[in-house]
Amino acid sequence: MKNSVFSQKIYSFLLAAYRWYLQTPERSLHQAYDAALKVKEIEDKHFNGNKIDIDSAMYSNSVMDYFESDLNKLLKIARMRLTEFRASRWFLNEENQKAAQKAGIEYLTPSLVLEKLNYIDQVLSKYTTNSERVTSNALVVKPPIPVNSVISDDKSLLVNTPTLPPKISNQDLNHKPKAKSKTDTTGVLPRSILSTITRLQVELDPNSEQEVIQNFRQTQKRTIISLRFLLLLIIVPLLTHQIAKAFVVGPIIERFRSTQEMQIFLNSEMEEEAFGELQRFEEKLKFENLIVKAPPLLPEQIETEMKKKAKELAEEFRHESSGAIKNIFADMFSVVAFIWLLLVSKSSIAVLKDFFDNIVYGLSDSAKAFIIILFTDIFVGFHSPHGWEVLLEGVSRHWGLPASRNVIFLFIATFPVILDTIFKYWIFRYLNRISPSAVATYRNMNE
């Protein structure tokens, strides 16, 4: 009994493997066709249906590296599957096709196969040079095709296949290019004259106008993408904060605080502020009672006015405490929205980085030095502790936290120093290498 069960398992395994073997041509063709569809999708979505090339759209180097890596993977898959398609059709003869029909495997119709091969060739031909086609056709040996084969492989042989590098003759090895010395690189005419001649040639070129228009359109597109992405970085977190505070967090906090007796003040700072306002109100009543020629207020009347004011202050600070709790949770939603926007906008981030690089490094040396001094004086200068103090107090009040002077002074004593070190390292490490004259101007202006 055990032997029969074991033999049935082996038979089912062999049958499944044989079915997989018979389906290899159709499976390989489908995978190659799917890779070609993905390449075409990238072309239509990001390059207006043109070839995936740096000249087709305005993208930075990092974005083009991202697209080219995906392109290389898809081209590799398509070419490998086409090679597998040809090899599997060579090994599948008429008997195998009859066995496939008995096993219930239905092959694609010849017209559909030719249509897929034609589509794959149209997509891959954009990324196959003439030299690669000649080498590929010279190295590929066409195998004999069965007489009753449904589909001819002549169509698939047009696709580029992996080729061997050309052999180098001994004569070429003996004539290695010599390294150029400094005397060889020095020309007869000065480089400035040669660059002027080159610039005149570019200006007299009839295609220069089209290049200028194309560069302008690329710059315009980059600017629009960068400004739109900057607005999204500002608007999306703000809208998320307001919507979450009004429709998500707000009703939950209000229902929770209305059902339970919650404390009015979140911290001692709010309590001191409320008591100070109540005391000033009482002194104001007494002062007005002394200077106005009217019957003096009785103690009961003063107490009634004080109760009204106390209720107003209680309602005001209860609302402020609820708003601080809402701000904490709404800020969490804003941070999540901001991070999500950064994760889904990698290409826009690369364009924005390129946009800022062109703006910053396109400024004059004096403008660079002015901007550096302005930012350093604001954030790490002599008067910056007052600004940090006001900012930290506003943040603590926004979240309903007590403004601890020790924490604020500790932050001011450490963070601007770290920020100043980062500024100096950036100037020494990067700006000094890119624009030494800007660094010299910065030092002269600081002195």
- Nearby residues of 218 by Cβ (< 8 Å), 6 or more positions away: 58
Confidence of residue 151 (pLDDT cuts 50, 70, 90): very low
What pLDDT was estimated at residue 174? Answer: 43
pLDDT in tens, 411-421: 988 998 999 89
The encoded tokens of residue 245 equal 């505070």
Residue keyed to tokens 């200028």: 212
Count the Cβ atoms, other than its own, within 10 Å of residue 57: 16
What pLDDT was estimated at residue 258? Answer: 67
What pLDDT was estimated at residue 117? Answer: 87
End-to-end, the C-alpha distance of the chain in Å comes to: 98
What pLDDT was estimated at residue 332? Answer: 94
Confidence of residue 113 (pLDDT cuts 50, 70, 90): confident
Amino acid identity of 338?
A: F
Residue keyed to tokens 């149209």: 122
What pLDDT was estimated at residue 211? Answer: 76
Compute the distance between CA of residue 84 and CA of residue 156 in angstroms, rounded to an integer: 11
For the ranges 84-98, 230-244, 403-417, the one whose mean pLDDT is highest: 230-244
pLDDT greater than 60 at residue 131? no
Query: How many Å is the Cα radius of gyration of the chain?
Result: 38
The answer to whether 187 touches 194, Cβ cutoff 8 Å, is yes
Residues across the chain: 447
The answer to whether 271 touches 265, Cβ cutoff 8 Å, is yes
Q: Which pTM was predicted?
A: 0.52
Q: What is the mean pLDDT of residues 250-260?
A: 76
pLDDT greater than 70 at residue 445? yes
Q: What is the mean pLDDT of residues 225-251?
A: 92
- The average confidence (pLDDT) of the chain is 75
Count the Cβ atoms, other than its own, within 10 Å of residue 87: 14
Compute the distance between CA of residue 356 and CA of residue 223 in angstroms, rounded to an integer: 10
- Nearby residues of 263 by Cβ (< 8 Å), 6 or more positions away: 321
Compute the distance between CA of residue 412 and CA of residue 406 in angstroms, rounded to an integer: 10
pLDDT greater than 60 at residue 351? yes
pLDDT in tens, 44-99: 887 777 788 766 556 666 777 777 888 888 888 888 888 888 877 766 655 555 55
Confidence of residue 154 (pLDDT cuts 50, 70, 90): very low
What pLDDT was estimated at residue 334? Answer: 94
Confidence of residue 240 (pLDDT cuts 50, 70, 90): very high
Compute the distance between CA of residue 37 and CA of residue 108 in angstroms, rounded to an integer: 18
pLDDT in tens, 291-324: 776 567 777 887 888 888 888 888 888 888 888 8
Compute the distance between CA of residue 210 and CA of residue 217 in angstroms, rounded to an integer: 10
pLDDT greater than 70 at residue 443? yes
Compute the distance between CA of residue 294 and CA of residue 163 in angstroms, rounded to an integer: 109
Confidence of residue 162 (pLDDT cuts 50, 70, 90): very low
Phi, psi of 167 (to 5 degrees): -75, 145
Compute the distance between CA of residue 306 and CA of residue 309 in angstroms, rounded to an integer: 5
pLDDT greater than 80 at residue 194? no
pLDDT greater than 90 at residue 331? yes
Select from 263, 402, 247, 391 the least CA-distant residue to 326: 247
The encoded tokens of residue 418 equal 């770290």
